[in-house]
Amino acid sequence: MDLLLHQLTLYVPDEDKSIFGRSVNKLVFEGFTTGLLQTIATILGSLWPHISEPGQAEKTWISSPDAKVKSSATESFNTRTQDLISYVVNMGLIDKLYGCFLSIQGPVDEHPKMSAFLQQASALLHNMCKLCFVVTGRAPSIFNNKRQDPTGLTALLQSTDLVGVVHTLYCILLHSFLPESASQSQEPYSPGVIQVALQGIRFLNSFALLDLSAFQSVLGAEGLSLAFRHIVSSLLWYCTQHSSEELLHEVIICVGYFTVNHPDNQDINFTHSFVVIVDNGSSEKLHLGLIKVVNYHFVYPGCSNLECIIKGEAIGRVIVQSGRQPSVLQKLCQLPFQYFSHPRLIRVLFPSLISACYNNSQNKVILQQEMSCVLLATFIQTESINVRHTFESREIFAIVVEAEWGGHRVRQRLRVLPEGPRAGRCAERLKM
């Protein structure tokens, strides 16, 4: 960790927050720093080899036939790991990575070293969140409100807008054109960019497990919310055109975390407006928020309407409205038939659809135009009596369900029941 921080300090100077990321030396993306990131990410991931899916059973490398000795060894291991995470939080490493992510201003398809750096940095953040989730004794339920993180990792990730990962994903995925507009013979993204997107979305999902309310708050903020919607829309389009099931599932789960029990975030279908104040007094290329400023020309890919009002000589106010079709919810409903027929794929997709439509009549109307809601009613009734859920289903599905789907009144309440020290999960159907 110290060596990695030393490398980052050489190329990422301390800057004022308002200009963070502008002075990053591109040499930071060379192979040595990337190798350090990969090594540390691999080590963190191997400390808990059985938590590839958060919430599943956890086992450490420490084993002993004596339960008391094992418990003591595990407690010691957890304490040391918490100290390690706290050290990383306070040493400034994540702040340096934040500057690196913010320094990305455009496509990296032709820069494999840069994409490799971003991939390994995202993997490091992802594994830190997973490790923090386990060693701090978090309950498997994402709806657990008693969340305490003594390491300070959650607060730091929230204060840095998830280390600028959303900013980077937006820049590399929607840099100068809409992927949907690319010709069929043209690959919209390089394999390296797709790997960056995969690791980035994984990191977002692991942070959602760590603190759902913080995750929804960060991504629901005015600027990032629109960026996140465009990122998800583009990745959904890509995954339907190319075989990338792993990425697709991560995106679907992320939409579920984003919308579940959050009315504002459920609005993933309609026109969004926001105001960005930019300094257009310079002719150099800048990237502030979601607006690219190139010689006084404002470029925002993916907008149906763009209005620019210049006030004075130095300040520009840009009002962006985006209501492109099909929407994120419509794209989810238009996934291949297997996602509505195969049990494994149904458990990936349907919880996110339920999360997006729960107590939201507008989203329900859109969903009914694309598919039969009887499918969701059947899924709810089936899963409510099934005590064994896959990760994707149980983490998002443990919510109150009192809705009317396609004329079928479904009145059920699902709740999490603890199962011993491993805190397994099951759902109980309660007649109301």
Q: What is the C-alpha to C-alpha distance for residues 273 and 169, in angstroms, rounded to an integer?
A: 21
Query: CB neighbours of 357 closer than 8 A, spacing ≥ 6?
Result: 266, 329, 363, 364, 367, 376, 403
Q: For residue 283, how far is the Cα from the chain centroid? A: 34
In the prediction, which pLDDT does 254 show?
96
**Predicted local distance difference test score (pLDDT) of residue 54:** 38
Quick one: which of 41, 20, 39, 23 has its CA closest to 31?
39
Measured CA to CA, the distance from residue 398 to residue 393 in angstroms comes to 8
The lowest-confidence range among 61-70, 110-119, 143-152 is 61-70
Q: What is the pTM of this model?
A: 0.75
- 289-319 pLDDT, tens digit per residue, is 343 333 223 333 333 333 333 222 232 223 3
Mean pLDDT of 286-291: 38
Q: How much is the pLDDT for 92? A: 93
Residue 71 pLDDT = 73
What is the C-alpha to C-alpha distance for residues 256 and 253, in angstroms, rounded to an integer? 5
Give the per-residue pLDDT at 345. Answer: 95
Report pLDDT for 168: 96
Nearest to 132 by CA among 184, 180, 88: 88
* pLDDT digit string, tens, across residues 334-362: 999 999 999 999 999 999 999 999 999 99
Reported as a pLDDT band with limits 50, 70 and 90, residue 4 is very high
More confident residue, 193 or 398: 193
Q: What's the confidence (pLDDT) of residue 31? A: 87
Q: Kindly indicate the confidence band of residue 16, based on its pLDDT and cuts at 50, 70 and 90.
A: low
pLDDT value for 334: 92
- At residue 14, the pLDDT reads 82
Q: Which of 59-68, 150-159, 185-194 has the lowest average pLDDT?
A: 59-68
How much is the average pLDDT of 118-136? 92
Q: Would you say residue 236 has pLDDT above 60?
A: yes
Q: What percent of the chain has pLDDT over 90?
A: 46
